[in-house]
Chain A
Amino acid sequence: MTAYTKAETLLKVEDISLSYGEKKILRDVNFEIRNITRPDVRQGQVISLIGRSGIGKTQLFKILAGLKEPTSGKVSLDNGNAIKAGDMGVVFQNYYLFEWRTVYKSLELAAKKNPELKDSGIKTAINRYAEDFNLTEHLSKYPQQLSGGQRQRASIIQQLLNGSEFILLDEPFSGLDVLVLDKVKELLLKISLTDERKTLIIVSHDIVTTVAVSDTVFVLGLEGNKPGATIKKEIDLCERGLAWQKDIHKEPAFIKTIEEIKSYL
């Protein structure tokens, strides 16, 4: 079992609810994301938010990103401030990019908003990420000329350059073939290793893939007859010894956990 401790709270979600008119989509959503530290390893957090189609994942995602006001409740950072758009990097489901900018220009615009990158640093940073993510030869292209996977990587780099500690990803595994899927998993791991406080929040309905890369799982679902989805279960994969391992999905304990998650859906 890997040693770890849970340190300070990075993100706090309190009593979030969301209704459209009479229809309650989310109710009493409460959870906390804490900085997980491991001796001798600099590693961030990977959180997954799992739920059935139409349950409200994207809505919660937008609230976390500060793009949508919840009907009530609040999301706050560790300094106590309420979250606002721009605090979190967001990779949308369809890997949206500025269609009128070349990839390089898009990345440069994102990097300019990062106070930690100065003029000369921007170019170096872009080239380094492009190298890491196999995108160097595509930098001068327009988004329309990229494949789905390349777009996804470009939009991830864009958010990385932007420099937020949190990166939210909506369905990052949908529509990818098996080989690319492994690449993306590797890539997410790489990102989480860049900084102790770096936190990835993955919203997905691909349970196996998502859980395999996560350290904490939140299951979003309906409870009894109450209207609105809420966090039905939090599963600490570190505690179960299922986090940070490469070929985890063959382990019986992992398979059991997947079954357990399915039962909550």
Chain B
Amino acid sequence: MKKIFSPFGRINRQTFMILGVVQALVALVLWHFASNGLIPRPLKVADAFIKLITSKNLLDNVLVSFVLTIKAMAISIIITLFFSYLSVIPFFKNIALFLVKCRYLTLTGLIFIFTLLTQDGSQLKLSLLIFGIVPFFVTSFLAVIVTTDNQQFEICKTLGYSNWETLYEVIIVGKADQVLEIIRQNFAITWLMITLVEGLSMSEGGVGTMLIKFNKYNDLTNVLALQLVIFVIGLFFDFILGNLKYWLFPYTKLQIQR
């Protein structure tokens, strides 16, 4: 019992799980008794959640958001890798650094420009998403490149590698596992933005559209249920990407065991 509250205390897996379940239950009970009619009670949300996930409507919308997310992430990662890899070349360094600073441009202010530049709603959504994601991806990846141990470069030099070969070995191959990690970590941001951009062009649906509709009719129960769905999908993705990393790059698991 004491261990649970001591810094760096070690508890076994089972205790940890039990602890988690108990904490979740306490939170639910608190929620139940704290809600005063305005905020729907947990059981009601659970009920709505079940209804929601068994409806075809949800599946369709999730699929729409999902495809859009994947598309945006795929294009973003290509753009990110392109500029990040090239950032080691002085000529391209400024572009990469500028992309990083683009995090401070808010999307909302750019919607109109993007509307003018794009042909239709789906293009608008996609380009906004990409524009939103890329700076975060580039930021994370540049941080990875910057922290490269100088010895990695030195060993390449002593083996007689040219600068291009070094770039390939140390940055492209050596950091491949990090690319996946960045996708995983930034998936949350993408998932967050998707609800934002889907509100802009409602015709194609998506979870963001659903969320806005529920909100409009003050259907708080369904809003919370849908939030739960979004949350679960996010966790699922996190899990899949995490395992994909261990499978593709077995050495990353070894580092953790150390």
- Chain B residue with the shortest CB-CB distance to A87: B160
Q: Is A4 an interface position by the 8 A CB rule?
A: no
Contact B254 A98 (CB under 8 A): no
B251 and A159 within 8 A (CB): no
Contact A100 B158 (CB under 8 A): no
Q: Could you tell me if A159 and B169 are in contact, using CB atoms closer than 8 angstroms?
A: no
Q: Does B236 contact A (CB under 8 A)?
A: no
A86 touches B155 (CB 8 A): no
Contacts A67-B154, A109-B169 known; A100 to B249 CB distance under 8 Å? yes
Q: A99 interface residue, CB < 8 Å from B?
A: yes
Whether the pair A113, B177 counts as a contact (CB closer than 8 A) is: no
CB of B176 within 8 Å of the partner chain: yes
A92 within 8 A of B: yes
Q: Does B159 contact A (CB under 8 A)?
A: yes
| Residue pair A86, B160 in contact (C-beta under 8 Å) | yes
| A86 with B157: CB separation less than 8 A | yes
Query: B159, A86: Cβ atoms under 8 Å?
Result: yes
Is there an interface contact between A67 and B258, defined as CB atoms closer than 8 Å? no
Chain A interface residues toward B at CB < 8 A = 65-67, 85-86, 88-90, 92, 94, 96-101, 109-110, 113, 142, 144-145, 158-159, 162
C-alpha gap A4/B144 in the complex (Å): 53
Name the 7 nearest CB pairs between A and B, nearest first. A86-B160, A85-B157, A144-B254, A90-B158, A142-B251, A113-B160, A96-B151
Write the nearest CB–CB distance from B158 to chain A, whole angstroms: 4
Our pick among A109, A142, A145 for the contact of B159 (Cβ within 8 Å) is A109
- Beyond known contacts A85-B158, A96-B152, A100-B249: 12 more, CB 8 A cutoff: A66-B157, A86-B161, A88-B158, A90-B158, A92-B154, A94-B151, A99-B251, A113-B159, A142-B251, A144-B251, A145-B254, A158-B159
Instruction: Kindly identify which residue among A86, A96, A100 contacts B251, using a CB–CB cutoff of 8 Å.
Output: A100
Query: Is B20 an interface position by the 8 A CB rule?
Result: no
The interface residues of chain B, by DSSP majority, are classed as helix
* A-B pairs with beta carbons under 8 A, tally: 61
Name the residue of chain B whose CB is nearest to the CB of A155: B155
Give the residues in chain B near A85, CB-CB below 8 Å. 154, 157-158, 160
Closest to B154 in A: A67
> Given A98-B169, A100-B251, A144-B254: A162 and B152 within 8 A (CB)?
no
Q: How far is the CB of B110 from chain A (nearest CB, A)?
A: 38
CA distance A31 to B161 in the complex (A): 28
Measured between alpha carbons, how far is A96 from B151 in the docked complex, in Å? 7
Q: Which of B160, B177, B249, B255 makes the CB contact (< 8 A) with A162?
A: B160
Chain A interface mostly helix, strand, loop or mixed? loop
Q: Report the bound CA distance from A89 to B155 in whole Å.
A: 9
With contact pairs A142-B254, A144-B258 given, residues A98 and B177 touching in the complex (Cβ less than 8 Å): no
List A contacts of B155 (CB < 8 A). 90, 92, 96-98
Known: A144-B251, A144-B255. A100 touches B159 (CB 8 A): no
* A21 to B93 Cα, complex, angstroms: 28
- Max chain B CB contacts within 10 Å: which of A88, A99, A109? A99
* Bound: A96/B177 CA distance, A: 19
* A101 neighbours in B (Cβ, 8 Å): 173
Separation of A159 and B156 alpha carbons in the complex (Å): 11
**B148, chain A: closest CB distance, angstroms:** 12
In the bound complex, do residue B255 and residue A159 qualify as a contact, i.e. CB atoms below 8 Å apart?
no
Instruction: Assess whether B158 is in contact with A159, with CB atoms less than 8 Å apart.
Output: yes
If the complex has contacts A99-B251, A142-B254, are A67 and B158 also in contact, measured as CB distance less than 8 A? yes
A110–B254 contact, CB under 8 A?
no
| Cα-based distance from A109 to B158 in the complex (angstroms) | 12
Give B134-150 as 1s and 0s: 1 = Cβ < 8 Å from A's Cβ atoms: 00000000000000000
Per-position contact with A for B162-195: 1 when CB-CB < 8 Å, else 0?
A: 0000000100011011000000000000000000
Q: How far is the CA of A85 from the CA of B156 in the complex (A)?
A: 9
Known: A98-B174, A144-B255. Is A65-B158 also a contact (CB below 8 A)? yes
Q: Across the interface, do A92 and B176 meet the contact criterion of CB distance under 8 Å?
A: no
Least CB distance from B252 to A in Å reads 9
